[in-house]
Structure 1
Amino acid sequence: NHYKDNSVSITKEKMHYYFITGYVFDVGSNLKIKPSVLMKAAEGAPLQGDASLNFLIYDKLTLGAAYRWDSAWSAMAGFQISNSLFIGYAYDMETTDLKNYNDGSHEIFLRWELFNNSKMLTPRFF
């Protein structure tokens, strides 16, 4: 047993790199489509890539789905409660052999923008 033997473990922090890109397409007066791609790299780990597609309806309701290459898929829904408060739900399911050991994960998330600047020229959607 690792703990009974009083062995020493040494861990090193690894540098992580993230690259994200996306665009918001105005499809109509009440619909925006937001595709995005996220690439993640860490020293000693394989490259990971995510692709997602979100729909923003009436600037209030967000529905979307994502796929993590050879790893998982997810779906999400969210609602803009006020100018500074957004709440949402997401479900994530493994596509690897880990799916035999869990039923996916459920997440409830809350985004609260403390300094809401209405004059912002390039709002951050990603």
Structure 2
Amino acid sequence: MKKTIILIALLLLTSSSLLAQQESIITFYRNHLNLVNPAYVGVEAESSIQSSIRSQWTGVENAPETQAFSFMAPLGEKKFSLGLSFVHDKVFIEKQTFFAIDLSYDVKLSDKLDLFMGVKVGGNNYEVNTSGLQTYNFVVDPSLQSFSRFNPNIGMGFYLKHEKYYVSLSTPKMLNTQRAKNEDGYATVSTDRVHFYMSSGYNFELSSSVDLLPSVIVRYVNGAPFSSDFTATTIFNKKFDLGVTYRTDNSLAGMVKIAINKRLQLGFAYEYMMQRQLLARANNTNEFYLKFNL
């Protein structure tokens, strides 16, 4: 059973222990907030498509990879907005894909203040595929069984928007779901717990052409420590963004985003893991971001 312990330990290391989270982490969270908060699909009051590709710990075989896609568009008189969100995660022998439909409604509190309320309806397909594992026996180990499950889910969120600041509070998956975990060297089925997200930011106008946008996102799930991203972004002429993010999971990232024209934006984030001793062979993380206004 030694091989089983080693393989499951690797699975646990890459998917749970270092991140202490069960859901995806995106460095461009402020631009992709509808992945965790369905209310955000109505905030920009325009139709757009966004996508992110994140390759974590380059240099480590089968390291975590995330692809995220979202669409949002106003409906009718722009009180209602509709969106789609899609996230695919792959790490070692684990794969999970979450797809949801988002709907938000705008409540105007004052001339400068809006409250968006949103619901998310979708499901998550989770797989553990052990067929690709290399073992040292000719006989198939009965403890290495593949696992696949589809879990429907719902979520909700609130987004308070002012011309100078925003506050976001959400839980994208309110129902408990099942996945695999390591328990004393054996793969067992466990229940994912509900995640909560809080984000806030403020826009400081430094000059007619330069804005400073500090923001934070806090992730919480019962049984795991808080995880927070603190971000400061400087925007030049509303066309060029330069920022830095510190994550309390001990990583530091630099970000750049460029508006190619009125429709197309491209971004790149390079993340440095500050505790390299946790995974000595791991290099850093690359994340690419694209937004297209329809």
Q: What's the TM-score bracket when you normalise by the shorter of the two chains?
A: 0.7 to 0.9
The code of the aligned residue for 1:6 comes to S
Deviation at 1:32, TM superposition (A): 0.5
Equivalent runs, 1:90-101 vs 2, <5 Å: 90-96=269-275, 97-98=277-278, 100-101=280-281
Greater relative contact order (CA < 8 Å, ≥ 6 in sequence) = 2
Deviation at 1:55, TM superposition (A): 0.5
Larger displacement relative to structure 2 (88-97 or 60-69): 88-97
Paired position in structure 2 for 1:6 = 143
Paired position in structure 1 for 2:245 = 66
Paired position in structure 1 for 2:288 = 108
Count of matched residue pairs = 114
Which stretches of structure 1, 4 residues or longer, exceed 6 Å deviation after superposition? Answer: none
Equivalent runs, 1:20-35 vs 2, <5 Å: 20-35=199-214
Deviation at 1:10, TM superposition (A): 1.2
Structure 1, unaligned runs of 5 or more? 115-126
Deviation at 1:62, TM superposition (A): 0.4
Partner SS for 1:12: strand
Aligned-residue CA RMSD (Å): 1.9
Higher helix share: 2
The code of the aligned residue for 1:22 comes to G
Paired position in structure 1 for 2:265 = 86
Instruction: For 2:279 and 2:190, locate their aligned partners in 1 and report how far apart those are by CA, in whole Å.
Output: 29
User: Retained in 2: the 8 A contact 1:54–1:64?
Assistant: yes
Deviation at 1:112, TM superposition (A): 2.4
Deviation at 1:95, TM superposition (A): 1.3
Deviation at 1:70, TM superposition (A): 4.7
TM-score where L is the length of structure 1: 0.80
| Selected match of 2:223 from 44, 49, 63 | 44
Partner SS for 1:10: strand
Larger displacement relative to structure 2 (52-61 or 78-87): 78-87
Q: Radius of gyration: which is bigger?
A: 2
